[in-house]
């Protein structure tokens, strides 16, 4: 944008449109002939018009918050078929290891509260990933079973 594009008439028109609350894009379109939105914004800034511009009226009044009237759906109790698989027995909690004594191929299944002094890890030989066979059956569940559980929790089933 060259300085010659801003004639005194255009500057006066810019001031009037800006004070009326018109957008820079609208003003650029009105002034036409090589004046871009960015040129309008630059000129407004250099002239110091931004501070005196009237605020645009709000488009919508804020509505008061409404109280919730509905409750979340209650989930039905899971049927015996939907529980853990029968071939997944509760593993014994023997062979405890601490975070400092567990080795690379030991089961890292956590036992107890991590914040307590009695917290430990299973410590039995790992057969799949980081867990022993009984803990691996709990940790690695089929994706379909996990998806069904999530759908039940979300109330989609």
Q: Domain count for the chain, please give it.
A: 2
Residue pair 30/13 in contact by the 8 Å Cβ criterion: yes
Same domain for 27 and 94: no
The verdict on 83 and 154 lying in the same domain is yes
| Pair 90, 111: CB distance under 8 Å | no
Find the helix packing angle between 37-47 and 24-31, rounded to 10°.
Answer: 110
Give the pLDDT confidence of 33-84 residue by residue, as tens digits. Answer: 788 899 889 888 888 886 555 555 666 777 777 776 666 666 566 555 544 4
Domain residue limits at 37: 3-47
For residue 54, tell me if it sits in a domain.
Answer: no
Q: How many CB atoms lie within 10 A of CB 135?
A: 24
Query: d(Cα 106, Cα 152) in Å, to the nearest integer?
Result: 34
Q: Residue 155: what pLDDT?
A: 77
């Amino acid at each position: 944008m060259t300085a010659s594009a801003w004639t005194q008439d255009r500057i006066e028109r810019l001031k009037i449109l800006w004070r009326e609350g018109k957008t820079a894009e609208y003003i650029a379109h009105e002034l036409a002939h090589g004046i871009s939105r960015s040129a309008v914004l630059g000129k407004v800034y250099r002239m110091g018009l931004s501070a005196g511009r009237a605020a645009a009226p709000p488009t919508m009044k804020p509505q008061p918050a409404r109280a919730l009237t509905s409750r979340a759906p209650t989930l039905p109790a899971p049927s015996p078929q939907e529980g853990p698989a029968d071939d997944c027995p509760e593993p014994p909690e023997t062979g405890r290891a601490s975070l400092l004594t567990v080795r690379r191929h030991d089961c890292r299944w956590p036992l107890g509260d991590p914040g307590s002094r009695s917290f430990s890890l299973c410590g039995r030989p790992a057969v799949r990933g980081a867990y022993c066979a009984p803990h691996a059956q709990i940790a690695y569940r089929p994706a379909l079973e996990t998806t069904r559980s999530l759908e039940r929790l979300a109330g989609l089933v």
